[in-house]
A and B are shown apart, each in its own frame.
Chain A
């Protein structure tokens, strides 16, 4: 895909995120919107994942360790054709397969259940380890939040991946700078994220997580990096694409009302025309 096509696709995914969270009347739009560009790149450019190879052994795998950003994953999977976009309207509804957090047992295309922060990355490391044990070529991608890396388990997993030189895994840190209680550096600063990961034997790439040239180059560099895992620390904007949500911690876990939904969709329509 060209950058323009990726942008258009990401914009459609953002519309799906906002639509789903609005319909659910709850959920996490801020971090879903910040992750949308990278998720788009992963599913439409980077990973060898298609609807018909969903369960194949040699497919690439993605674990959304920051599982509360499920709307981003679901909207991406719907855009990719794993299920109808209409299903997004059922997010978080009783009886819907689109649970509040990713549920691998019921949602087509979801490689791992996640949601309790800190746990998803370990499971991704397990998948990468299995690939090494079986000499498979698939790659594993895990996305963690910058607040999520306050969880100690992230560092247990990072230590393991670094020590085992797992070069078939990429950790993406969605560095939107905000968590529920405020700015990450005010709550309990995880900075410097890059230096910490380097100390755990990661090859670290810092990028603008909304710039497709930088995203493309980073994943290429990750693929070429041998003998150590790669971390992509992506500087992003929480709520990206929706004017009143951008850089607002308050939009971490809140749904737009009808009026706000209208404005949000107008913002995204406008971005789509650009």
Chain B
């Protein structure tokens, strides 16, 4: 395999914001003293007058974003997932979600791939928190191409959107010239008949690699990329579940409340199917290089393939 290009989706976020800023005067970007890390600094460089650093005060930032949106701005409020979805949960719920305001939340440094900073900064709960808010769209892109397209789609969508990005540079597997992002639509990346692997975020690339390993073992896995966790593409997942009869979900998030739960919610109501949830088990993360943590917590391709093979047996 030739060397693949790797980009962190936080980088995609910053770059996409600049593109949006060029096209739309009403785009404003808010940050909470993390512009360097969330990559909104790229936007700040291009449009300093439309970049508002709120200081280390995420709750207030969400409120300011809400107020700006009532005056016709399209604010992109940015911070680490831990603080955007965690610390400011209630502000997002009450000041943005309840009035259904047109605020976009760009949450970077999600999941254990934050790496060395450790458990306090590794948010494995944000998808669970955000998807319980009525009317909130939750997006978790799988690579650079998808992430940039997602930011544009978030702008086009009227209403609150939570976007989840990572710190770690991950392989770019989508082809920009043919890629099309449709909000709420999953993408079948590989067809198969033995098992359906539903993945999101950086676990999509790992799941594709896992499917290759499984193929060598005679297991034909279907791989679905779910970039929009809410609203969930239930039809696609149910159709695949009916075809293969077995579902595995893979996410860099707690197995409680995330993609796995969303998929199970859909399946149990409409097509009960034996399902295995792969994710961060009910535990906190820890410090270490991201790639090592992904392996340790069982989210790399080999671990995924092993678990899927056992499950299918």
Contact = CB atoms under 8 A, between A and B. Distances in A.
B101 to A, nearest CB: 9
B68 A130 contact: yes
A209 interface: no
A123 B95 CA distance: 8
Contacts of B63: 119-123, 125-126, 153, 157
A122 B91 contact: yes
A129 B55 contact: no
Contact of B57 (A63, A116, A160): A160
A160 B59 CA distance: 12
A247 B199 CA distance: 59
B60 interface: yes
Nearest to A119: B95
B68 A129 contact: yes
A56 to B, nearest CB: 11
A122 B62 contact: yes
Interface residues of A, number: 35
Contact of B70 (A121, A127, A133): A127
A160 B91 contact: no
A130 B73 CA distance: 7
Interface in A134-161: 134, 152-153, 156-157, 159-160
B245 to A, nearest CB: 44
Interface of A: 57, 61, 63, 103-105, 111-116, 118-131, 133-134, 152-153, 156-157, 159-160, 163
Interface of B: 28, 49-50, 52, 54-55, 57, 59-60, 62-73, 75, 90-91, 94-95, 98-100
23 contacts: A57-B71, A112-B67, A113-B95, A113-B99, A116-B90, A116-B95, A119-B90, A122-B60, A122-B62, A122-B66, A126-B67, A126-B75, A130-B67, A130-B68, A130-B72, A133-B50, A153-B59, A153-B63, A153-B91, A156-B60, A160-B55, A160-B57, A160-B64
Given A122-B91, A126-B75, A153-B60, 17 more contacts: A103-B99, A104-B99, A113-B95, A118-B59, A119-B91, A120-B63, A122-B59, A123-B64, A125-B67, A126-B65, A126-B66, A126-B67, A127-B68, A127-B70, A152-B59, A160-B54, A160-B64
